[in-house]
A and B are shown apart, each in its own frame.
Chain A
Amino acid sequence: MGVVLAGCTPEAHFNANAVLMHKNENAAKETTEFSPQRRADIANTLVALFGTPDEPHIPAAPGIGEDDVHQVMDPRKISFAAGSVSSDEQGRARGLYREHCAHCHGVTGDGAGPTASFLNPYPRDYRMGIFKFKSTPKGQKPTHEDLKRILVNGIPGTAMPSFLVLPENEIDALVHYVRYLSVRGEVERLLIDYATYELTPQTEPSEDDPNPPPEDRLVNLEASEEDQESQAEVIRSFVSEVTQKWLDAESLATEIPAPDPDRDLAKSEAHGRELFYGPVANCIKCHGDSALGDGQTTDYDDWTKELDPANPELVAQYQKLGALKPRNIHPRNLRNGVYRGGRRPVDLYWRLKNGIDGTPMPAVLMLPENAPPGSKGLTEEDLWALIDYVRSLPYESISNPRLAQPKPNNQRERS
């Protein structure tokens, strides 16, 4: 049934990361062009490693056992989530990703599905391998549980809905599929960088250089078997590099020492307020003096920074290649009581302790153990005080303005 249905829709394909290729062409400032040959080489290499949206393939990762690779990308779960939307003979759903995710995140996982440009914030582009709301330190991948939590809870204040009603095995398959798209996207980035900075580009003969060297192929089928093997080894090492980071993340969740349950909440909030305005936590610099998120409104997230947002000429070039219009990132308005990464104290603990990947939000500086007197940094107690204060902000009277007198409807104000 599934196979029959798949034939009815046009074949889905993964989009190339044309923006990064163009960015690298600008950065290399040479005749470096991603020639049609080179673009085809990259596309073919990616198909050989990862297959297609209808027929995904899980590549081997040298140095990592197959079981471990499958812990990151389980081929059975990925084929369950891949392909077009259908069901098999037993009535089990197929094509989960395209049914639930692709409208916004795109078939490629580039965050540029058909609805993406209508949303604010834009859907996540998985291809950088950066995820915001997670339990691990800055620079590390999210754990399986982290991604699952996002799917189950959704992201409040954004278009990302909760998929709580999906059966557990479907959520699980989707988490694997998101990781698969993310690994694929990051390997593509590594291939593009490798081609830009390590391979000889196609060069037109010129006066200075009438006989330029021929273009290096990403995979040179005319090279000796040994050379081909060493090229393939480099490419496969990219898969290992990225897959290993996902494996490592599983044991990197930041542990949360329990706060003192008997602490005086009013005192803790007051202490947190001092820290919020004080020089060590420095929250007001971005979240603003009134915590409305208005302290720093001209910055961008890492996905947008890649589009050189300060340079309208370059932005226009990237937009032609499919990039969405850059928008500023705004620090959270802490008086709304809407927390994208979750509202539980543990969620706020992770945000403060680790910062938020891909954004300007830094981690707080913790006081090292046995720090000499006078050292700067926060204690665990300080951290919980900050969390208590931040959690109290939406309930302050200033956060809930009430008009003294109801305004009459449909009546023009007069001076």
Chain B
Amino acid sequence: MMQHKTYFMTTFLLLTASIVSAAEWGDLTVQFVYDGTPPAPVKATVNKDVAYCGKFNVLDESVVVNPKNGGVANVIAHIYVGRGDSVPAVHPDYEKTAANEVKLDNKQCRFEPHVTLLRTSQTLLVGNSDEVGHNTNITALSNTASNVLVPAGGELKQKFPLAERFPMQVACNIHPWMQALVVVQEHPYMAASDADGKLTIKNLPAGKLTFQFRHERPGYLTEVTLDGKKTSWRRGRVELTIKPGQNDLGVVKLAPSVFEEK
């Protein structure tokens, strides 16, 4: 046992030691747009607790496209840290939120937000603003999985101390249409696109960084159109040079075929 602790401790020290301050910082902005006529929203099959959940316009959120501008919501972006690679330098601004509670609410028979961004140092606070009970079944690869019944008005605090290579899947078995993702990273450099398909990762250390992009339906975004050119991102990864200040990757178009169900 003792030996094992030392083994992890060494790894931990190596990672911590690599967090040094970078001299300059930059923001990365991207917009993801559906390259075609936006698909109409699909209503979720609300067949449980119909008296309550039926009051809300519950939608299938696996693909959410803005009908006005084609923006694709819930694209997940984060810095890719390979096995054995050190975590990039973290801007001091992020220290303020390092130990925050991050809320994942059960609200109007859906998870709010659909994509939660969680650092390993933060605490996930699962709430339930609804009048019905929900179970929050979290599947994890590296962390300990959990599945607790969260009653109306109840709350549950949980830590996920290890980074996850894939977002953790969250489901409510009582209401099978309810699905969400929780991204867990050791660093704060992650984002999910908003209703316009836009996402921003702030205060990145200037220099070369590898980013990874994914979406719930297709998984990694491997085939994209950037500046009108078809581009392949192997495993959704792309290396970018972040300059101090603003960095706009521009509009990334995603073909409708990307979102076809396999």
Q: Mark A residues whose CB is within 8 Å of B.
A: 26-30, 62-65, 68, 137-140, 193, 197-198, 208-209, 230, 234, 240, 244, 247, 279-282, 285-286, 296, 298-299, 302, 311, 314, 355, 357, 360-365, 374-377
From A30, A296, A364, B234 is in contact (CB under 8 Å) with A30
From B139, B147, B219, A355 is in contact (CB under 8 Å) with B147
Whether the Cβ atoms of A279 and B173 lie closer than 8 Å is: no
Whether the Cβ atoms of B1 and A362 lie closer than 8 Å is: no
Residues of B within 8 A of A298 (CB): 176
Residues of A within 8 A of B173 (CB): 286, 296, 299, 360, 362
Closest to A248 in B: B1
Whether the Cβ atoms of A240 and B4 lie closer than 8 Å is: yes
A29-B219, A376-B154 known; A139-B3 Cβ under 8 A? no
Q: For the complex, is B149 an interface residue (Cβ under 8 Å from A)?
A: yes
Q: For the complex, is B43 an interface residue (Cβ under 8 Å from A)?
A: no
From B3, B136, B165, B262, A63 is in contact (CB under 8 Å) with B3
Whether the Cβ atoms of B220 and A376 lie closer than 8 Å is: no
Chain A nearest CB, measured from B29 CB (Å): 26
Chain B nearest CB, measured from A240 CB (Å): 7
Residues of A within 8 A of B148 (CB): 355, 362-365
Residues of A within 8 A of B8 (CB): 63
A30-B234, A197-B165, A197-B235 known; A363-B147 Cβ under 8 A? yes
Which of B133, B139, B150, B261 has the most chain A CB atoms inside 10 A of its CB? B133
From B147, B152, B232, A361 is in contact (CB under 8 Å) with B147
Tell me the total A-B contact number using a CB cutoff of 8 A. 120
Whether the Cβ atoms of A362 and B135 lie closer than 8 Å is: yes
**Apart from A28-B235, A279-B133, A376-B151: 13 A-B pairs, beta carbons within 8 A:** A26-B262, A28-B219, A28-B220, A63-B4, A138-B147, A139-B146, A282-B135, A355-B148, A357-B145, A360-B135, A361-B147, A362-B135, A365-B150
Closest to B132 in A: A279
Chain A nearest CB, measured from B220 CB (Å): 7
Chain A nearest CB, measured from B104 CB (Å): 15
**Distance between Cα atoms of A247 and B3 in the complex (Å):** 13
Q: Mark B residues whose CB is within 8 Å of A.
A: 1-4, 6-8, 48-49, 82-84, 132-133, 135-137, 139-140, 143-156, 165, 173-174, 176, 218-220, 222, 232, 234-235, 261-262
Whether the Cβ atoms of A65 and B1 lie closer than 8 Å is: yes
Whether the Cβ atoms of A138 and B145 lie closer than 8 Å is: yes
Residues of B within 8 A of A299 (CB): 173, 176
Which of A28, A282, A364 has the most chain B CB atoms inside 10 A of its CB? A282
Residues of B within 8 A of A62 (CB): 7
**Distance between Cα atoms of A238 and B214 in the complex (Å):** 25
Residues of A within 8 A of B132 (CB): 279
**Distance between Cα atoms of A376 and B148 in the complex (Å):** 13
Closest to B221 in A: A29
Whether the Cβ atoms of B174 and A286 lie closer than 8 Å is: yes
List 8 interface pairs A-B (beta carbons < 8 Å), by A numbering: A63-B6, A65-B4, A285-B174, A296-B48, A296-B173, A357-B145, A362-B135, A363-B148
Whether the Cβ atoms of B4 and A244 lie closer than 8 Å is: yes
**Distance between Cα atoms of A316 and B148 in the complex (Å):** 33
From A139, A140, A282, B149 is in contact (CB under 8 Å) with A282
**Distance between Cα atoms of A281 and B148 in the complex (Å):** 10
**Distance between Cα atoms of A20 and B1 in the complex (Å):** 32
Whether the Cβ atoms of A64 and B4 lie closer than 8 Å is: yes
Residues of B within 8 A of A247 (CB): 1
Chain B nearest CB, measured from A315 CB (Å): 12
Residues of A within 8 A of B232 (CB): 208-209
**Distance between Cα atoms of A21 and B38 in the complex (Å):** 33
Whether the Cβ atoms of B147 and A296 lie closer than 8 Å is: no
Whether the Cβ atoms of B4 and A364 lie closer than 8 Å is: no
Closest to B166 in A: A197
Closest to B218 in A: A29
Whether the Cβ atoms of A234 and B83 lie closer than 8 Å is: yes
Whether the Cβ atoms of A364 and B144 lie closer than 8 Å is: no
Residues of A within 8 A of B234 (CB): 30
**Distance between Cα atoms of A281 and B135 in the complex (Å):** 10
Chain B nearest CB, measured from A330 CB (Å): 12
Residues of A within 8 A of B176 (CB): 298-299
Whether the Cβ atoms of A311 and B262 lie closer than 8 Å is: yes
Chain A nearest CB, measured from B239 CB (Å): 15
**Distance between Cα atoms of A209 and B83 in the complex (Å):** 26
From B7, B49, B147, B219, A362 is in contact (CB under 8 Å) with B147
Whether the Cβ atoms of B152 and A279 lie closer than 8 Å is: yes
